[in-house]
Chains A and B, each alone.
Chain A
Amino acid sequence: MKDTAAFEARFLAEHQRSVRMRRWRGIALNILGVLLFLAVWEIIPRLGFANPVLFPPPSKVLEAALPMLGSGEIPWNILVSLGRAGSGFLIAAVLGVAIGVATARAPVIRDLVEPLLHGFRSVPVIALVPVSVLWFGIGEGAKVALVATGAFFPIWINSFIGVRDVHEIYLRSAACLGANRWQTLRYVVLPASLPFIIAGLRQGIAIALIVLVAAELAGARAGVAYMMSMGHQLFRVDIMFAGLVILGFLGFAGDRLFVALCRKLFPWYRPSA
Protein backbone atom coordinates (compact mmCIF):
# COMPACT_ATOMS: atom_id res chain seq x y z
CA MET A 1 0.00 0.00 0.00
CA LYS A 2 2.87 2.35 0.84
CA ASP A 3 4.28 1.46 -2.56
CA THR A 4 1.05 2.52 -4.23
CA ALA A 5 1.10 5.91 -2.53
CA ALA A 6 4.68 6.57 -3.58
CA PHE A 7 3.93 5.43 -7.11
CA GLU A 8 0.90 7.71 -7.32
CA ALA A 9 2.87 10.65 -5.95
CA ARG A 10 5.57 10.06 -8.55
CA PHE A 11 2.97 9.79 -11.29
CA LEU A 12 1.25 12.99 -10.18
CA ALA A 13 4.53 14.93 -9.98
CA GLU A 14 5.51 13.69 -13.40
CA HIS A 15 2.11 14.62 -14.82
CA GLN A 16 2.18 18.12 -13.35
CA ARG A 17 5.69 18.62 -14.63
CA SER A 18 4.67 17.69 -18.16
CA VAL A 19 1.60 19.95 -18.01
CA ARG A 20 3.79 22.84 -16.83
CA MET A 21 6.35 22.04 -19.52
CA ARG A 22 3.73 22.11 -22.22
CA ARG A 23 2.38 25.44 -21.01
CA TRP A 24 5.81 27.06 -20.90
CA ARG A 25 6.71 25.64 -24.25
CA GLY A 26 3.52 27.12 -25.68
CA ILE A 27 4.31 30.56 -24.28
CA ALA A 28 7.91 30.33 -25.48
CA LEU A 29 6.75 29.44 -28.98
CA ASN A 30 4.26 32.34 -28.95
CA ILE A 31 7.08 34.73 -28.11
CA LEU A 32 9.41 33.10 -30.61
CA GLY A 33 6.82 33.60 -33.36
CA VAL A 34 6.67 37.34 -32.63
CA LEU A 35 10.46 37.57 -32.49
CA LEU A 36 10.82 35.73 -35.80
CA PHE A 37 8.35 38.11 -37.39
CA LEU A 38 10.27 41.12 -36.06
CA ALA A 39 13.57 39.62 -37.27
CA VAL A 40 12.31 39.08 -40.82
CA TRP A 41 10.82 42.56 -40.80
CA GLU A 42 14.15 43.99 -39.61
CA ILE A 43 16.17 42.11 -42.22
CA ILE A 44 14.08 42.75 -45.35
CA PRO A 45 14.77 46.53 -45.68
CA ARG A 46 18.40 46.03 -44.56
CA LEU A 47 19.07 43.50 -47.30
CA GLY A 48 17.85 46.01 -49.86
CA PHE A 49 14.60 44.20 -50.72
CA ALA A 50 12.70 47.34 -49.78
CA ASN A 51 13.35 51.03 -49.41
CA PRO A 52 14.00 51.61 -45.67
CA VAL A 53 12.19 54.94 -45.83
CA LEU A 54 9.04 53.40 -47.26
CA PHE A 55 9.42 50.17 -45.30
CA PRO A 56 11.21 51.06 -42.07
CA PRO A 57 12.51 48.17 -39.94
CA PRO A 58 11.17 47.78 -36.39
CA SER A 59 14.31 49.40 -34.93
CA LYS A 60 13.54 52.63 -36.82
CA VAL A 61 9.87 52.44 -35.85
CA LEU A 62 10.85 52.10 -32.22
CA GLU A 63 13.27 54.98 -32.61
CA ALA A 64 10.45 57.17 -33.87
CA ALA A 65 7.96 55.93 -31.30
CA LEU A 66 10.09 56.27 -28.15
CA PRO A 67 10.12 60.09 -27.95
CA MET A 68 6.40 60.12 -28.74
CA LEU A 69 5.82 57.65 -25.93
CA GLY A 70 7.87 59.80 -23.54
CA SER A 71 6.09 63.01 -24.53
CA GLY A 72 2.74 61.36 -23.88
CA GLU A 73 1.64 61.80 -27.48
CA ILE A 74 1.16 58.09 -28.17
CA PRO A 75 -0.51 57.26 -24.82
CA TRP A 76 -2.91 60.17 -25.34
CA ASN A 77 -3.79 59.05 -28.84
CA ILE A 78 -4.31 55.49 -27.64
CA LEU A 79 -6.54 56.73 -24.83
CA VAL A 80 -8.65 58.81 -27.22
CA SER A 81 -9.02 55.90 -29.64
CA LEU A 82 -9.81 53.43 -26.88
CA GLY A 83 -12.43 55.81 -25.49
CA ARG A 84 -14.15 56.00 -28.85
CA ALA A 85 -13.89 52.29 -29.63
CA GLY A 86 -14.87 51.28 -26.09
CA SER A 87 -17.93 53.48 -25.76
CA GLY A 88 -19.07 52.68 -29.28
CA PHE A 89 -18.63 48.97 -28.66
CA LEU A 90 -20.47 49.14 -25.35
CA ILE A 91 -23.47 50.84 -26.93
CA ALA A 92 -23.41 48.29 -29.75
CA ALA A 93 -23.18 45.38 -27.30
CA VAL A 94 -26.16 46.50 -25.22
CA LEU A 95 -28.34 47.36 -28.21
CA GLY A 96 -27.17 44.43 -30.34
CA VAL A 97 -27.89 41.78 -27.72
CA ALA A 98 -31.16 43.35 -26.61
CA ILE A 99 -32.49 43.80 -30.13
CA GLY A 100 -31.10 40.44 -31.23
CA VAL A 101 -32.99 38.67 -28.45
CA ALA A 102 -36.17 40.67 -28.97
CA THR A 103 -36.23 40.14 -32.71
CA ALA A 104 -35.55 36.43 -32.47
CA ARG A 105 -37.99 35.63 -29.67
CA ALA A 106 -41.14 37.14 -31.16
CA PRO A 107 -42.08 35.22 -34.31
CA VAL A 108 -43.84 38.16 -35.93
CA ILE A 109 -40.88 40.49 -35.48
CA ARG A 110 -38.53 37.69 -36.48
CA ASP A 111 -40.16 37.24 -39.87
CA LEU A 112 -40.45 40.98 -40.24
CA VAL A 113 -36.74 41.72 -39.77
CA GLU A 114 -35.00 38.62 -41.06
CA PRO A 115 -34.66 39.74 -44.71
CA LEU A 116 -33.51 43.20 -43.62
CA LEU A 117 -30.96 41.69 -41.34
CA HIS A 118 -29.45 39.55 -44.06
CA GLY A 119 -29.39 42.58 -46.33
CA PHE A 120 -27.61 44.73 -43.76
CA ARG A 121 -25.02 42.12 -42.90
CA SER A 122 -23.67 42.18 -46.45
CA VAL A 123 -23.13 45.95 -46.46
CA PRO A 124 -19.61 46.81 -45.24
CA VAL A 125 -20.00 49.37 -42.47
CA ILE A 126 -17.11 51.44 -43.77
CA ALA A 127 -19.45 52.37 -46.60
CA LEU A 128 -21.41 54.30 -43.96
CA VAL A 129 -18.48 56.53 -43.04
CA PRO A 130 -18.99 59.21 -45.71
CA VAL A 131 -22.72 59.33 -44.99
CA SER A 132 -22.05 59.62 -41.28
CA VAL A 133 -19.64 62.51 -41.86
CA LEU A 134 -22.39 64.27 -43.80
CA TRP A 135 -24.98 63.57 -41.11
CA PHE A 136 -23.03 63.99 -37.91
CA GLY A 137 -19.87 65.84 -38.97
CA ILE A 138 -16.53 64.79 -37.49
CA GLY A 139 -17.27 65.35 -33.81
CA GLU A 140 -16.75 62.78 -31.04
CA GLY A 141 -20.38 61.77 -31.01
CA ALA A 142 -20.32 61.01 -34.72
CA LYS A 143 -17.29 58.73 -34.36
CA VAL A 144 -18.76 56.86 -31.42
CA ALA A 145 -22.03 56.51 -33.30
CA LEU A 146 -20.21 55.13 -36.31
CA VAL A 147 -18.25 52.60 -34.25
CA ALA A 148 -21.48 51.61 -32.52
CA THR A 149 -23.26 51.17 -35.84
CA GLY A 150 -20.44 49.04 -37.21
CA ALA A 151 -20.16 46.80 -34.16
CA PHE A 152 -23.93 46.59 -33.76
CA PHE A 153 -24.61 44.47 -36.83
CA PRO A 154 -22.44 41.44 -36.10
CA ILE A 155 -23.65 41.47 -32.50
CA TRP A 156 -27.28 41.76 -33.52
CA ILE A 157 -27.01 39.08 -36.21
CA ASN A 158 -25.18 36.59 -34.02
CA SER A 159 -27.47 37.16 -31.04
CA PHE A 160 -30.44 36.75 -33.36
CA ILE A 161 -29.16 33.47 -34.79
CA GLY A 162 -28.16 32.20 -31.34
CA VAL A 163 -31.57 32.89 -29.84
CA ARG A 164 -33.45 31.65 -32.90
CA ASP A 165 -31.58 28.34 -32.82
CA VAL A 166 -31.81 27.54 -29.11
CA HIS A 167 -32.47 23.83 -29.00
CA GLU A 168 -36.13 22.95 -28.66
CA ILE A 169 -35.33 20.44 -25.93
CA TYR A 170 -33.99 23.22 -23.66
CA LEU A 171 -37.17 25.23 -24.14
CA ARG A 172 -39.34 22.19 -23.50
CA SER A 173 -37.33 21.29 -20.40
CA ALA A 174 -37.83 24.78 -19.03
CA ALA A 175 -41.53 24.74 -19.88
CA CYS A 176 -42.26 21.40 -18.23
CA LEU A 177 -40.34 22.48 -15.13
CA GLY A 178 -42.63 25.50 -14.82
CA ALA A 179 -40.50 28.39 -16.08
CA ASN A 180 -42.43 31.41 -17.36
CA ARG A 181 -41.44 33.47 -20.38
CA TRP A 182 -39.12 35.80 -18.52
CA GLN A 183 -37.46 33.01 -16.54
CA THR A 184 -36.99 31.01 -19.72
CA LEU A 185 -35.28 33.99 -21.32
CA ARG A 186 -33.00 34.66 -18.38
CA TYR A 187 -32.07 31.15 -17.33
CA VAL A 188 -32.30 29.26 -20.61
CA VAL A 189 -32.40 31.32 -23.81
CA LEU A 190 -29.61 33.74 -22.95
CA PRO A 191 -27.14 31.16 -21.64
CA ALA A 192 -27.98 28.75 -24.45
CA SER A 193 -27.28 31.37 -27.09
CA LEU A 194 -24.20 32.67 -25.31
CA PRO A 195 -21.70 31.00 -27.67
CA PHE A 196 -23.25 32.93 -30.55
CA ILE A 197 -23.51 36.13 -28.57
CA ILE A 198 -19.85 35.85 -27.62
CA ALA A 199 -18.87 35.19 -31.23
CA GLY A 200 -20.83 38.31 -32.20
CA LEU A 201 -19.17 40.39 -29.50
CA ARG A 202 -15.74 39.23 -30.61
CA GLN A 203 -16.53 40.11 -34.19
CA GLY A 204 -17.88 43.40 -32.86
CA ILE A 205 -14.54 44.20 -31.22
CA ALA A 206 -12.69 43.63 -34.48
CA ILE A 207 -15.15 45.71 -36.50
CA ALA A 208 -15.14 48.48 -33.89
CA LEU A 209 -11.40 48.89 -34.49
CA ILE A 210 -11.80 48.89 -38.28
CA VAL A 211 -14.56 51.47 -38.20
CA LEU A 212 -12.65 53.50 -35.63
CA VAL A 213 -9.69 53.79 -37.99
CA ALA A 214 -11.92 54.69 -40.92
CA ALA A 215 -13.71 57.31 -38.84
CA GLU A 216 -10.48 58.82 -37.55
CA LEU A 217 -8.96 58.88 -41.02
CA ALA A 218 -12.03 60.73 -42.28
CA GLY A 219 -11.18 63.56 -39.90
CA ALA A 220 -10.08 63.80 -36.28
CA ARG A 221 -7.90 65.83 -33.95
CA ALA A 222 -6.48 62.93 -31.96
CA GLY A 223 -6.37 59.15 -32.00
CA VAL A 224 -4.10 56.42 -33.29
CA ALA A 225 -5.33 56.64 -36.89
CA TYR A 226 -5.15 60.44 -36.70
CA MET A 227 -1.51 60.01 -35.69
CA MET A 228 -1.00 57.77 -38.70
CA SER A 229 -2.60 60.26 -41.08
CA MET A 230 -0.29 62.96 -39.65
CA GLY A 231 2.63 60.60 -40.32
CA HIS A 232 1.31 60.25 -43.85
CA GLN A 233 1.24 64.01 -44.42
CA LEU A 234 4.76 64.42 -42.96
CA PHE A 235 5.98 61.45 -45.04
CA ARG A 236 6.96 59.70 -41.82
CA VAL A 237 6.31 56.06 -42.65
CA ASP A 238 7.93 55.06 -39.34
CA ILE A 239 5.15 56.87 -37.44
CA MET A 240 2.54 55.21 -39.63
CA PHE A 241 4.08 51.82 -38.84
CA ALA A 242 4.08 52.65 -35.15
CA GLY A 243 0.35 53.25 -35.52
CA LEU A 244 -0.11 49.91 -37.25
CA VAL A 245 1.73 48.11 -34.48
CA ILE A 246 -0.38 49.85 -31.86
CA LEU A 247 -3.60 48.95 -33.66
CA GLY A 248 -2.48 45.35 -33.98
CA PHE A 249 -1.62 45.24 -30.32
CA LEU A 250 -4.91 46.86 -29.27
CA GLY A 251 -6.88 44.31 -31.27
CA PHE A 252 -4.88 41.45 -29.82
CA ALA A 253 -5.10 42.72 -26.24
CA GLY A 254 -8.81 43.44 -26.58
CA ASP A 255 -9.50 39.94 -27.81
CA ARG A 256 -7.36 38.27 -25.11
CA LEU A 257 -9.04 40.33 -22.44
CA PHE A 258 -12.43 39.35 -23.81
CA VAL A 259 -11.58 35.64 -23.83
CA ALA A 260 -10.21 35.85 -20.28
CA LEU A 261 -13.38 37.61 -19.16
CA CYS A 262 -15.53 34.90 -20.77
CA ARG A 263 -13.56 32.17 -18.98
CA LYS A 264 -14.11 33.92 -15.69
CA LEU A 265 -17.79 34.71 -16.17
CA PHE A 266 -18.88 31.50 -17.89
CA PRO A 267 -16.85 28.60 -16.52
CA TRP A 268 -19.02 26.08 -18.35
CA TYR A 269 -18.29 27.65 -21.73
CA ARG A 270 -14.99 27.27 -23.56
CA PRO A 271 -14.40 29.90 -26.23
CA SER A 272 -11.96 28.47 -28.73
CA ALA A 273 -8.57 30.14 -28.17
Chain B
Amino acid sequence: MPLISIEHVSHLYVGTGGTPSWALRDVSLGLERGRFTCLVGPSGCGKTTLLQLIAGFLKPTAGSVQLDGKPISGPGPDRSVVFQEYALFAWFTVRQNVEFGLRVAGMKAAERRKRSDDLLAMIGMSHAADRYPHELSGGMRQRVAVARALAIHPQVVLMDEPFAAVDALTRATLQEELLRLWQQLGLSIVFITHNVDEAVFLADDVVVMSAHPGSIQEIMTIDMPHPRDRGSPEFARWYARINAALHQDPKRKEAA
Protein backbone atom coordinates (compact mmCIF):
# COMPACT_ATOMS: atom_id res chain seq x y z
CA MET B 1 0.00 0.00 0.00
CA PRO B 2 1.37 3.41 -0.90
CA LEU B 3 2.17 5.86 1.92
CA ILE B 4 -0.14 8.46 0.43
CA SER B 5 -2.96 7.49 -1.86
CA ILE B 6 -4.95 10.04 -3.74
CA GLU B 7 -8.05 8.58 -5.34
CA HIS B 8 -10.24 10.35 -7.85
CA VAL B 9 -9.67 13.70 -6.17
CA SER B 10 -11.33 16.82 -7.53
CA HIS B 11 -11.09 20.23 -5.99
CA LEU B 12 -13.26 23.15 -7.04
CA TYR B 13 -13.11 26.77 -6.10
CA VAL B 14 -15.17 29.77 -7.05
CA GLY B 15 -13.16 31.76 -9.55
CA THR B 16 -13.46 35.35 -10.66
CA GLY B 17 -16.92 35.99 -12.05
CA GLY B 18 -18.46 33.49 -9.66
CA THR B 19 -18.04 30.48 -11.90
CA PRO B 20 -16.67 27.23 -10.46
CA SER B 21 -13.10 26.36 -11.49
CA TRP B 22 -11.42 22.99 -11.30
CA ALA B 23 -8.14 23.28 -9.41
CA LEU B 24 -7.91 19.51 -9.74
CA ARG B 25 -10.06 17.15 -11.80
CA ASP B 26 -10.22 13.45 -11.06
CA VAL B 27 -6.60 13.06 -9.96
CA SER B 28 -5.34 9.71 -8.73
CA LEU B 29 -1.81 9.17 -7.51
CA GLY B 30 0.03 6.86 -5.14
CA LEU B 31 3.19 8.01 -3.35
CA GLU B 32 5.51 5.36 -2.01
CA ARG B 33 7.45 5.51 1.23
CA GLY B 34 11.06 6.68 1.03
CA ARG B 35 10.75 8.27 -2.38
CA PHE B 36 11.47 11.78 -3.54
CA THR B 37 8.54 12.98 -5.64
CA CYS B 38 8.54 16.27 -7.52
CA LEU B 39 5.34 17.88 -8.72
CA VAL B 40 6.05 20.13 -11.69
CA GLY B 41 3.69 22.13 -13.81
CA PRO B 42 2.64 25.58 -14.95
CA SER B 43 0.80 27.89 -12.59
CA GLY B 44 -2.83 26.87 -12.31
CA CYS B 45 -2.07 23.16 -12.66
CA GLY B 46 -3.15 22.47 -9.09
CA LYS B 47 0.21 21.32 -7.73
CA THR B 48 -0.08 23.54 -4.66
CA THR B 49 -3.70 22.47 -4.18
CA LEU B 50 -2.59 18.84 -4.27
CA LEU B 51 0.09 19.51 -1.66
CA GLN B 52 -2.36 21.37 0.56
CA LEU B 53 -4.83 18.48 0.32
CA ILE B 54 -2.13 16.11 1.54
CA ALA B 55 -1.17 18.59 4.28
CA GLY B 56 -4.81 18.76 5.33
CA PHE B 57 -5.14 22.52 4.85
CA LEU B 58 -7.85 21.85 2.25
CA LYS B 59 -10.49 19.17 1.92
CA PRO B 60 -11.17 17.59 -1.47
CA THR B 61 -14.49 18.47 -3.09
CA ALA B 62 -14.69 14.86 -4.23
CA GLY B 63 -12.51 11.78 -3.83
CA SER B 64 -10.23 10.76 -0.97
CA VAL B 65 -6.72 11.49 0.26
CA GLN B 66 -5.27 8.91 2.60
CA LEU B 67 -2.12 8.53 4.60
CA ASP B 68 -1.25 4.94 5.44
CA GLY B 69 -4.79 3.91 4.60
CA LYS B 70 -6.40 6.48 6.92
CA PRO B 71 -8.25 9.47 5.48
CA ILE B 72 -6.63 12.84 6.15
CA SER B 73 -8.90 15.05 8.23
CA GLY B 74 -6.66 18.04 8.92
CA PRO B 75 -3.08 19.18 9.35
CA GLY B 76 -0.95 17.10 11.69
CA PRO B 77 2.63 16.39 12.73
CA ASP B 78 2.85 13.24 10.57
CA ARG B 79 2.95 15.54 7.50
CA SER B 80 5.10 18.63 8.05
CA VAL B 81 5.30 21.39 5.47
CA VAL B 82 8.19 23.58 4.33
CA PHE B 83 6.80 26.75 2.81
CA GLN B 84 8.35 29.02 0.23
CA GLU B 85 9.40 31.66 2.75
CA TYR B 86 8.43 33.74 5.78
CA ALA B 87 7.19 30.73 7.68
CA LEU B 88 9.75 30.74 10.49
CA PHE B 89 8.34 32.23 13.67
CA ALA B 90 9.99 35.63 13.87
CA TRP B 91 9.70 35.74 17.67
CA PHE B 92 11.58 32.49 18.23
CA THR B 93 15.28 31.85 17.83
CA VAL B 94 16.54 29.28 15.37
CA ARG B 95 16.63 26.65 18.10
CA GLN B 96 13.17 27.51 19.38
CA ASN B 97 11.84 27.27 15.84
CA VAL B 98 13.39 23.85 15.32
CA GLU B 99 12.09 22.65 18.68
CA PHE B 100 8.57 24.04 18.20
CA GLY B 101 6.90 20.80 17.14
CA LEU B 102 8.62 18.89 19.92
CA ARG B 103 7.63 21.50 22.47
CA VAL B 104 3.94 21.39 21.58
CA ALA B 105 4.16 17.60 21.64
CA GLY B 106 5.31 17.87 25.26
CA MET B 107 8.86 16.58 24.87
CA LYS B 108 11.19 17.37 27.77
CA ALA B 109 13.62 20.26 27.32
CA ALA B 110 16.79 18.16 27.57
CA GLU B 111 15.59 15.67 24.97
CA ARG B 112 14.42 18.48 22.73
CA ARG B 113 17.76 20.15 22.98
CA LYS B 114 19.57 16.99 22.00
CA ARG B 115 17.46 16.57 18.91
CA SER B 116 17.77 20.21 17.86
CA ASP B 117 21.54 20.04 18.42
CA ASP B 118 21.74 17.06 16.08
CA LEU B 119 19.58 18.70 13.42
CA LEU B 120 21.38 22.03 13.59
CA ALA B 121 24.70 20.23 13.22
CA MET B 122 23.31 18.33 10.23
CA ILE B 123 22.33 21.52 8.44
CA GLY B 124 25.48 23.36 9.51
CA MET B 125 23.65 25.93 11.62
CA SER B 126 24.95 25.13 15.11
CA HIS B 127 26.67 28.50 15.29
CA ALA B 128 23.40 30.35 14.68
CA ALA B 129 21.21 28.48 17.19
CA ASP B 130 20.41 31.57 19.23
CA ARG B 131 19.84 33.97 16.38
CA TYR B 132 16.47 35.27 15.28
CA PRO B 133 15.19 34.65 11.73
CA HIS B 134 15.60 38.31 10.75
CA GLU B 135 19.33 37.95 11.37
CA LEU B 136 19.65 35.12 8.83
CA SER B 137 20.07 35.06 5.07
CA GLY B 138 17.33 33.56 2.91
CA GLY B 139 19.24 30.31 2.45
CA MET B 140 19.87 29.93 6.18
CA ARG B 141 16.19 30.53 6.90
CA GLN B 142 15.15 27.75 4.55
CA ARG B 143 17.69 25.38 6.15
CA VAL B 144 16.09 26.10 9.50
CA ALA B 145 12.61 25.64 8.02
CA VAL B 146 13.67 22.20 6.78
CA ALA B 147 15.14 21.33 10.18
CA ARG B 148 11.94 22.43 11.90
CA ALA B 149 9.90 20.20 9.62
CA LEU B 150 12.21 17.22 10.19
CA ALA B 151 12.45 17.57 13.98
CA ILE B 152 9.07 15.95 14.58
CA HIS B 153 9.97 12.88 12.48
CA PRO B 154 7.08 13.22 10.07
CA GLN B 155 6.02 10.36 7.80
CA VAL B 156 6.29 12.67 4.83
CA VAL B 157 7.80 16.11 4.27
CA LEU B 158 5.78 18.37 1.98
CA MET B 159 7.79 21.14 0.35
CA ASP B 160 6.10 23.98 -1.54
CA GLU B 161 8.77 25.58 -3.76
CA PRO B 162 11.04 25.86 -0.72
CA PHE B 163 14.05 27.16 -2.63
CA ALA B 164 12.28 29.43 -5.11
CA ALA B 165 13.12 32.63 -3.25
CA VAL B 166 16.87 32.09 -2.81
CA ASP B 167 19.62 32.88 -5.28
CA ALA B 168 20.77 30.25 -7.77
CA LEU B 169 24.09 29.41 -6.06
CA THR B 170 22.47 28.96 -2.68
CA ARG B 171 19.69 26.93 -4.26
CA ALA B 172 22.17 24.43 -5.68
CA THR B 173 23.77 24.02 -2.25
CA LEU B 174 20.39 23.60 -0.56
CA GLN B 175 19.40 20.96 -3.09
CA GLU B 176 22.53 18.94 -2.38
CA GLU B 177 21.99 19.24 1.36
CA LEU B 178 18.38 18.17 1.04
CA LEU B 179 19.39 15.08 -0.94
CA ARG B 180 21.93 14.23 1.73
CA LEU B 181 19.29 14.52 4.48
CA TRP B 182 16.84 12.50 2.42
CA GLN B 183 19.32 9.65 1.99
CA GLN B 184 20.69 9.83 5.52
CA LEU B 185 17.28 9.88 7.24
CA GLY B 186 15.29 7.83 4.72
CA LEU B 187 12.71 10.57 4.24
CA SER B 188 9.64 10.57 2.03
CA ILE B 189 9.43 13.90 0.27
CA VAL B 190 6.83 15.58 -1.93
CA PHE B 191 8.41 18.63 -3.50
CA ILE B 192 6.74 21.27 -5.66
CA THR B 193 8.80 23.14 -8.19
CA HIS B 194 8.35 24.87 -11.50
CA ASN B 195 12.04 24.53 -12.14
CA VAL B 196 12.76 21.57 -14.44
CA ASP B 197 16.45 21.49 -13.53
CA GLU B 198 15.53 21.18 -9.87
CA ALA B 199 13.17 18.30 -10.58
CA VAL B 200 15.74 16.36 -12.63
CA PHE B 201 18.41 16.92 -10.00
CA LEU B 202 16.27 15.82 -7.05
CA ALA B 203 13.46 13.49 -7.96
CA ASP B 204 12.90 9.75 -8.13
CA ASP B 205 9.49 10.41 -9.57
CA VAL B 206 8.42 13.47 -11.49
CA VAL B 207 4.70 14.13 -11.71
CA VAL B 208 4.09 16.49 -14.63
CA MET B 209 0.82 18.34 -14.25
CA SER B 210 -1.15 20.45 -16.66
CA ALA B 211 -3.67 23.23 -16.14
CA HIS B 212 -7.33 23.93 -17.00
CA PRO B 213 -8.37 21.70 -15.41
CA GLY B 214 -5.54 20.73 -13.05
CA SER B 215 -4.65 17.15 -13.81
CA ILE B 216 -1.75 14.74 -14.06
CA GLN B 217 -0.27 14.59 -17.52
CA GLU B 218 2.57 12.15 -17.09
CA ILE B 219 4.58 10.45 -14.38
CA MET B 220 8.25 9.72 -15.04
CA THR B 221 10.68 7.77 -12.94
CA ILE B 222 14.25 9.03 -13.09
CA ASP B 223 16.57 6.16 -12.27
CA MET B 224 19.84 8.09 -12.45
CA PRO B 225 21.98 7.55 -9.33
CA HIS B 226 22.80 10.45 -7.01
CA PRO B 227 24.73 12.72 -7.07
CA ARG B 228 23.53 13.65 -10.53
CA ASP B 229 25.80 15.50 -12.86
CA ARG B 230 24.11 18.49 -14.40
CA GLY B 231 26.56 18.34 -17.29
CA SER B 232 25.87 14.73 -18.25
CA PRO B 233 23.98 13.80 -21.44
CA GLU B 234 21.54 11.74 -19.41
CA PHE B 235 20.66 14.77 -17.30
CA ALA B 236 20.10 16.76 -20.46
CA ARG B 237 17.87 14.02 -21.88
CA TRP B 238 15.66 14.02 -18.78
CA TYR B 239 15.57 17.78 -18.80
CA ALA B 240 14.42 17.78 -22.42
CA ARG B 241 11.80 15.10 -21.80
CA ILE B 242 10.19 16.92 -18.87
CA ASN B 243 10.44 20.23 -20.64
CA ALA B 244 8.73 18.79 -23.69
CA ALA B 245 5.95 17.33 -21.55
CA LEU B 246 5.44 20.69 -19.90
CA HIS B 247 5.24 22.54 -23.18
CA GLN B 248 3.08 20.03 -24.92
CA ASP B 249 0.08 21.61 -26.55
CA PRO B 250 -3.01 20.25 -24.76
CA LYS B 251 -4.99 20.13 -28.01
CA ARG B 252 -2.34 17.99 -29.64
CA LYS B 253 -2.35 15.78 -26.58
CA GLU B 254 -6.07 15.21 -27.03
CA ALA B 255 -5.62 14.41 -30.69
CA ALA B 256 -2.89 11.88 -29.97
Contact = CB atoms under 8 A, between A and B. Distances in A.
Contacts of A174: 100, 104
A177 interface: yes
A188 B77 contact: no
B86 A177 contact: no
Given A169-B86, A176-B76, A177-B152, A187 B104 contact: yes
A235 interface: no
B89 A172 contact: no
B196 to A, nearest CB: 26
A178 B87 contact: no
Interface in A182-203: 183, 187-188, 191-192, 194
B90 A268 contact: yes
Contacts of B149: 176-177
A187 B100 contact: yes
Interface residues of A, number: 22
B182 interface: no
Contacts, number: 73
Nearest to B134: A268
Interface in B71-113: 74-77, 79-81, 83, 86-87, 89-92, 100-101, 103-105
Contacts of A269: 91
Contact of A178 (B55, B92, B105, B158): B105
Contacts of A188: 89
B87 A173 contact: yes
B141 interface: no
Given A169-B83, A187-B104, A268-B134, A178 B77 contact: yes
Nearest to A194: B91
B57 to A, nearest CB: 6
Contact of B91 (A169, A176, A179, A192): A192
Interface in B130-155: 132, 134, 148-149, 152
A132 B133 CA distance: 48
Interface string B210-250: 00000000000000000000000000000000000000000
A71 interface: no
Nearest to B77: A178
Contacts of A173: 81, 83, 87, 89, 148
B142 to A, nearest CB: 13
B107 to A, nearest CB: 11
Contacts of A187: 89, 100, 103-104
A183 B104 contact: yes
A122 interface: no
B74 A175 contact: yes
Given A188-B89, A268-B90, A177 B83 contact: no
A219 B55 CA distance: 61
Contacts of A183: 104
A144 B55 CA distance: 50
A175 to B, nearest CB: 4
Interface in A210-251: none
Contact of B89 (A176, A178, A191): A191
Interface in A154-181: 167, 169-170, 172-180
Contacts of A266: 91
Given A172-B75, A175-B75, A176-B77, A191 B104 contact: no
Contacts of B103: 187
Contacts of B86: 167, 169
Contacts of A194: 91
Interface string B18-59: 000000000000000000000000000000000000011100
Contacts of B92: 268
29 contacts: A167-B86, A170-B87, A170-B89, A173-B87, A173-B89, A174-B100, A175-B75, A176-B75, A176-B80, A176-B149, A176-B158, A177-B77, A177-B80, A177-B104, A177-B148, A177-B152, A178-B77, A178-B104, A183-B104, A187-B103, A192-B90, A192-B91, A194-B91, A266-B91, A267-B132, A268-B90, A268-B91, A268-B134, A269-B91
Interface of B: 55-57, 74-77, 79-81, 83, 86-87, 89-92, 100-101, 103-105, 132, 134, 148-149, 152, 158
Given A178-B101, A178-B152, A191-B90, 9 more contacts: A169-B86, A173-B148, A175-B57, A176-B75, A177-B104, A179-B104, A187-B89, A191-B89, A268-B90
User: A-B pairs with the 4 shortest C-beta distances?
Assistant: A178-B77, A177-B101, A175-B75, A191-B91
